[in-house]
Amino acid sequence: MKLIAIYPGSFDPITNGHVDILNRALRLFDKIIVLVADNPAKKPTFSVEERKAMIWESLEDNPKVEVDSTTGLTVHYAEKVGAHALIRGLRAATDFEYEFQMNSANQFINANIESVFFMAKHDFMFISSSTIKEMVIGGVDVSSLVPGPVLKRLKTLK
Ligand code: ADP
């Protein structure tokens, strides 16, 4: 049986923290679908198409990875594609509370789909998409924190 996981998130934009979680999860799963949340209420900086393109360009054609988006619930998407697990990253205690609640909600919807949590690598603990954008606007060099294709697009924010 092929083990399929979904890595859901805003990815506005994808950072080296996200890429690290994805690469580590790829050691455990046969296929991972990076699922971009299409939620205009979050007022994203980049469109869904831009976010998907940045993910693709950053992953360099890994045959085990797919990129998609959804306007619906992650668990419903997982059911549709026959996924076994959801992948999430944990940076700090503040992430834990939110992730604990999300996990309970997802388990309520479908208890057969497990969430698997990866602890952030120490170097990437402080990275979030919003911190990166603030640093770019403030003129900070973020080239060691995001993939090259993301850096190119972030320059348009200045
Ligand atoms: P969401 O809006 O769903 O939280 P994000 O794109 O912010 O979407 O994050 C997607 C997932 O990746 C979340 O589980 C988040 O905790 C995790 N994540 C984000 N940044 C990092 C990082 N630097 N290190 C580890 N995990 C991270």
Domain spans of the chain?
4-157
Contacts of 133 (CB under 8 A, 6+ apart): 45, 154, 157
* CATH number of the 4-157 domain: 3.40.50.620
Q: Which residue has the tokens 């700090």?
A: 92
What residues line ligand 1, using a CB cutoff of 6 Å? 9-11, 15, 17-18, 21, 88-89, 91, 95, 120, 124, 127-129
φ/ψ of residue 102, rounded to 5: -60, -40
pLDDT of residue 69 exceeding 90, the answer is: yes
Digit-coded pLDDT (tens) for 29-62: 999 999 999 998 999 999 999 999 999 999 988 9
Put simply, whether the predicted model's pTM sits higher than 0.85 gets the answer yes
* Distance (Å) of CA 52 to CA 38, 65, 106, 108, 119: 11, 12, 24, 29, 24
CA of 35 from ligand 1 middle (Å) equals 12
pLDDT score recorded for residue 40: 85
